[in-house]
């Protein structure tokens, strides 16, 4: 095993944990991860690291687009690692970076300070807004901090699947517990819930959201991820213990026989998971911005599902309306409150 570590990351506790865990690894000390990460390293070279450890010197949080879920403008993507140990055919990570080496950022205290500052600023802004309003009106309408603040932690990698090296759960789930009106989403295709159970408490501010698809599509398009049966088992263990669990049905894939495949899938989910205990569900078809679509098509010209998308407007390539409507109706029958991404709810 070969690990590249930035010299500036050397003295962080997280780096020490990694060095302790991988005692026999070949460690190469580097000046800046971008010197490797931003270069194209040919596959199978003896120089290629298994992963890189680095200090994040830029922002760890970026604002989620307004159309993205939870219908408020206080939602953020949280970045603590790049690239994924899984290999889903349709994933945007395939063209987002120059190579597929996982990068773990280790300066967690800096990242936590940034989150803390963001939450403080949002609360301050809202307080000012409330104070501007008439006091009586405020009482009448029971105005308090209006919107929940959301942090989505798995946008740049599957954060639960990476936990063996990042110890993300241990470091961030309890951190989020100290805030009011703030939630973190951990979205995953992994059934390895040991890092969650090892927390030894049931967090109120973290929702564990499992992405699900029919098993035959997992096998074909979601390489390396846990199979459906294992994910359902993990979901049921967490539900039984009282954790907040969400279901994410995305991307719903435009495959041949999609009506039959997805109808059987929804039936299976309704039989095996107690939907009344699920905190939230979210559905989305497969969609790309026009430039992302052109990028993935260039890289994976043989990926069949890409050819079943149509240019919807000048912004997106997505499934045709008829197919989307079929999916929405089907998943609304599973949970009438399920959120539909980028279409009317
Ligand atoms: S699990 Fe998520 S982040 Fe990882 S490859 Fe699949 S889609 Fe991409």
**pLDDT tens per residue, range 161-180:** 999 999 999 999 999 999 98
Q: What's the CATH number where 182 sits?
A: 3.80.30.30
Residue nearest to atom 8 of ligand 1 (CA): 91
Res 95: pLDDT: 84
β-strand pairing of 149-152 with 75-78: parallel
Res 185: pLDDT: 97
User: How close is the Cα of 155 to the center of ligand 1, in Å?
Assistant: 8
Ligand 1 atom closest to residue 90's alpha carbon, by position in its atom list: 7
Res 343: pLDDT: 85
Of the candidates 93, 102, 107, which has an alpha carbon nearest to the alpha carbon of residue 51?
A: 102
When computed from its CA atoms, the radius of gyration of the chain, rounded to whole angstroms, is 21
28 within domain boundaries? no
4 within domain boundaries? no
Calculate mean pLDDT across residues 292-298: 92
Cβ(249)–Cβ(331) under 8 Å?
A: yes
User: How close is the Cα of 154 to the center of ligand 1, in Å?
Assistant: 9
125 versus 111: the higher-pLDDT residue is 111
Residue nearest to atom 2 of ligand 1 (CA): 158
Written in H, E and C, the secondary structure of the chain is CEEEEEHHHCCCHHHHHHHHHCCCCEEEEECCCHHHHCCCCCCCCCCCCCEEEECCCCCCEEECCCCCCCCCCCEEEECCEECCCCEECCCCHHHHCCCCCCEEECCHHHHHHHHHHHHHHHHHHHHHHHHHCCHHHHHHHCCCCCCCEEEECCCCCCCCCCHHHHCHHHHHHHHHCCCCCEEEEEEECCCCCHHHHCCCCCCCCEEEEEECCCHHHHHHHEECCCCHHHHHHHHHHHHHHCCCEEEEEEEECCCCCHHHHHHHHHHHHHHHCCHHHCCEEEEEECEEEHHHHHHHHHHCCCCHHHHHCEECCCCEEECCHHHHHHHHHHHHHHCCCCEECCCCC
32 within domain boundaries? no
Ligand 1 atom closest to residue 93's alpha carbon, by position in its atom list: 8
Q: How confident is the model at residue 65 (pLDDT cuts 50, 70, 90)?
A: confident
Calculate mean pLDDT across residues 2-6: 97
Ligand 1 atom closest to residue 222's alpha carbon, by position in its atom list: 6
Q: How confident is the model at residue 152 (pLDDT cuts 50, 70, 90)?
A: very high
User: How close is the Cα of 173 to the center of ligand 1, in Å?
Assistant: 21
Calculate mean pLDDT across residues 108-135: 84
Give bridge partners of residue 52 from the DSSP assignment. 4, 103
Q: How confident is the model at residue 43 (pLDDT cuts 50, 70, 90)?
A: low
For a mutational test of ligand 1's pocket, the pick from 78, 103, 225, 227, i.e. the residue with the most ligand atoms closer than 8 A to its C-beta, is 225
For the chain, what is the domain count? 1
User: If you search the block for the tokens 């959201």, which residue do you land on?
Assistant: 209
244 within domain boundaries? yes
1 within domain boundaries? no
Ligand 1 atom closest to residue 155's alpha carbon, by position in its atom list: 3
User: How close is the Cα of 131 to the center of ligand 1, in Å?
Assistant: 43
User: How close is the Cα of 327 to the center of ligand 1, in Å?
Assistant: 21
Calculate mean pLDDT across residues 133-144: 52
Taking CB atoms and a 6 Å cutoff, what residues make up the pocket around ligand 1? 84, 86-88, 91, 93, 157-158, 189, 225
User: How close is the Cα of 84 to the center of ligand 1, in Å?
Assistant: 6
Q: How confident is the model at residue 143 (pLDDT cuts 50, 70, 90)?
A: very low
CA 110 to chain centroid, in Å, comes to: 21
Calculate mean pLDDT across residues 24-39: 93
For a mutational test of ligand 1's pocket, the pick from 78, 90, 158, i.e. the residue with the most ligand atoms closer than 8 A to its C-beta, is 158
For a mutational test of ligand 1's pocket, the pick from 94, 157, 210, i.e. the residue with the most ligand atoms closer than 8 A to its C-beta, is 157
Chain mean pLDDT for the chain = 92
Q: Is pLDDT of 138 > 60?
A: no
Res 145: pLDDT: 47
Burial degree of 134 (CB within 10 A; 0-12, 13-18, 19+): exposed
User: How close is the Cα of 222 to the center of ligand 1, in Å?
Assistant: 8
205 within domain boundaries? yes
Residue 325: give the domain boundaries: 59-82+109-340
**pTM of the model as a whole:** 0.93
Question: In whole angstroms, what is the distance from residue 261 CA to residue 263 CA?
Answer: 6
Ligand 1 atom closest to residue 156's alpha carbon, by position in its atom list: 3
Question: In whole angstroms, what is the distance from residue 155 CA to residue 81 CA?
Answer: 9
Contact partners, residue 97, CB within 8 Å, separation at least 6: 37, 82, 83
278 within domain boundaries? yes
User: How close is the Cα of 160 to the center of ligand 1, in Å?
Assistant: 11
User: How close is the Cα of 244 to the center of ligand 1, in Å?
Assistant: 21
49 within domain boundaries? no
**pLDDT tens per residue, range 216-259:** 999 999 999 999 999 999 999 999 999 999 999 999 999 999 99
Percentage of the residues of the chain whose pLDDT score is greater than 90 = 78
Res 67: pLDDT: 76
């Amino acid at each position: 095993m070969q690990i590249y570590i930035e010299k500036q990351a050397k003295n962080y506790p997280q780096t020490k944990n990694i060095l302790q865990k991988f005692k026999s690894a070949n460690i190469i000390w580097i000046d800046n991860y971008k010197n490797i990460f931003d270069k194209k390293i040919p596959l199978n070279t003896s120089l290629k690291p298994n992963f890189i450890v680095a200090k994040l010197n830029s922002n760890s949080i970026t604002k989620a687009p307004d159309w993205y879920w939870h219908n408020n403008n206080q939602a953020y993507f949280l970045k603590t690692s790049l690239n994924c140990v899984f290999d889903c055919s349709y994933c945007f990570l395939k063209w987002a970076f120059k190579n597929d080496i996982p990068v773990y950022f280790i300066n967690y205290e800096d990242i936590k300070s940034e989150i803390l500052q963001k939450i403080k600023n949002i609360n301050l802004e809202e307080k000012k807004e409330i104070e501007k309003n008439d006091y009586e009106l405020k009482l009448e309408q029971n105005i308090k901090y209006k919107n929940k603040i959301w942090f989505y932690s798995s946008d740049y990698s599957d954060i639960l699947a990476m936990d063996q090296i990042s110890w993300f759960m241990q470091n961030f789930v309890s951190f989020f517990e100290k805030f009011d009106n703030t939630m973190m989403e951990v979205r995953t295709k992994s059934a390895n819930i040991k890092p969650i159970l090892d927390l030894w408490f049931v967090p109120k501010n973290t929702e564990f959201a499992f992405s699900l698809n029919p098993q035959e599509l997992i096998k074909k398009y979601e390489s390396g991820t846990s199979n459906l049966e294992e994910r359902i088992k993990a979901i049921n263990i967490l539900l039984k213990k009282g954790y907040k669990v969400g279901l994410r049905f995305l991307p719903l894939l435009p495959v041949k026989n999609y009506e039959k495949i997805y109808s059987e899938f929804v039936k299976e989910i309704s039989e095996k998971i107690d939907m009344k205990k699920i905190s939230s569900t979210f559905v989305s078809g497969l969609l790309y911005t026009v430039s992302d679509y052109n990028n993935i098509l260039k890289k994976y010209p043989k990926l069949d599902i890409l050819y079943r998308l149509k240019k919807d407007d000048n912004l997106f390539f997505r499934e045709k309306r008829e197919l989307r409507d079929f999916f929405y109706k089907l998943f609304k029958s599973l949970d009438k409150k399920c959120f539909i991404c980028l279409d009317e709810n």
